[in-house]
Amino acid sequence: VTILQQTLVGVLSSATARERLQLIFVNGCKSGLLCEELAERGVPSIGWDTIALDDACAVFALGVYECLLRRAADPLTAAALRESFEQGKLAVAAVQRGGKDKYAVADPKAQPRRADGSVGGWLPDGRLAAGVPVL
């Protein structure tokens, strides 16, 4: 089933949804434009501006949700949302591989490519580009 972005934005930003939703987390590749449209309609959202590595998305989500959970008794303010977003990025940056950082919060387009166009290697500093999350 294909759902048009406009339809999704309309449903998620309706008056009823805005009353109940405190945050929409679109944890998938190139969801930044959807998040931007939701934010323009007053719905806080987190997504990814670029393609994103699956494992890094999972780690990012854990960082965000752990921070939100610690504040669950408090209202979700812009500052709390920003802190949770930053904690997600820190969680990604903290993943280790062989005693060194595994990921950089960076656009995977910066990584070397194979002849078929797929990601073929590590960034010059030895890390994988995880993707760029957006709030």
Kindly report, residue by residue over 29-88, the tens digit of the pLDDT.
999 999 999 999 888 999 999 999 999 999 999 999 999 999 998 989 999 999 999 999
- Cα torsion 78, 83, 84, 89 to 10°: value is 130
pTM, rounded to two decimals:
0.85
17: CB partners within 8 A, 6+ apart: 11, 43
**What is the token pair recorded at 68?**
């939100």
Nearest in space to 67 (alpha carbons), one of 81, 51, 53, 77: 81
Q: How many helices (H) does the chain have, and how many strands (E)?
A: 5, 7
The tokens describing 3, both together, are 């759902």
Domain ranges of the chain: 5-134
